[in-house]
Amino acid sequence: MRSGLELSLPLRVGTGGEGQGGLVVTRPYEIVELISARSIATRVEELARDIRVAFRETDKLIMVGLLRGSFVLIADLVRELDMNVEVDFLEVSSYGNEMTSSHEVRILKDLRGEIEGEDVLVVEDIVDTGYTLNHVVRFLQARNPRRLETIALLDKPSRREVEICATWIGFEIPDEFVVGYGIDYAQRNRNLPYIGRVCLGDSDGRASAAVEKS
């Protein structure tokens, strides 16, 4: 599945979750399906079963979504969990005015509720360098939850700079810029039901996969 879109953006400033950094875009791009909506739905059901087993002794599970990319995943997970669930959100930023991550992670929006003594599941869209997830885990651990686990829809292990891995991973993907299922490209394409890779068009009309500059 493909869709062609015209963009003329001098810089993408990423916020929310791990993100994928910024890309200078002055030409059209195509989105090529990488993971189908059906595959995502099946995997979410599998992950929900694992979560139910892992937290079968809990009275209440607090799911903390990292805005903004995780909102679709957390919505689908919640509907698959037949247990007592509360939902809260953190908004974080790990990118400034550079093409790559500054490794400076800031909390833009804190939790509304307390997590001390509670069972917590952090929900992330994509783990890239690992700086964001590592920072969030340390930030929340300081509030003394009874248990804290993590889940990410996508994982790019080839990009890792911090030794951290989510408790549950939906899919491992190569080092390509992806969109869809809540993940954006300059705040666009979050509504796509599948995960697609971004292919930038050349001047002669050919498309090539976009990768984050390191």
Q: Please, are residues 126 and 155 in contact by the beta-carbon 8 Å criterion?
A: yes
Q: Which residue in the list 76, 128, 155, 184 is annotated as catalytic?
A: 128
Q: Beta 147-155 vs 168-172: how paired, if at all?
A: parallel
For residue 138, what is the enclosing H or E element? helix 131-141
- Helices 71-80 and 37-54: angle between axes, nearest 10 degrees: 60
DSSP-derived letter for residue 191 is T
Here the tokens at position 160 are 């890792």
Q: Which residues contact 210 (CB under 8 A, 6 or more apart)?
A: 23, 29, 176, 177, 197, 198, 199, 200
128 is an active site residue: yes
Give catalytic residues, as residue numbers. Answer: 128
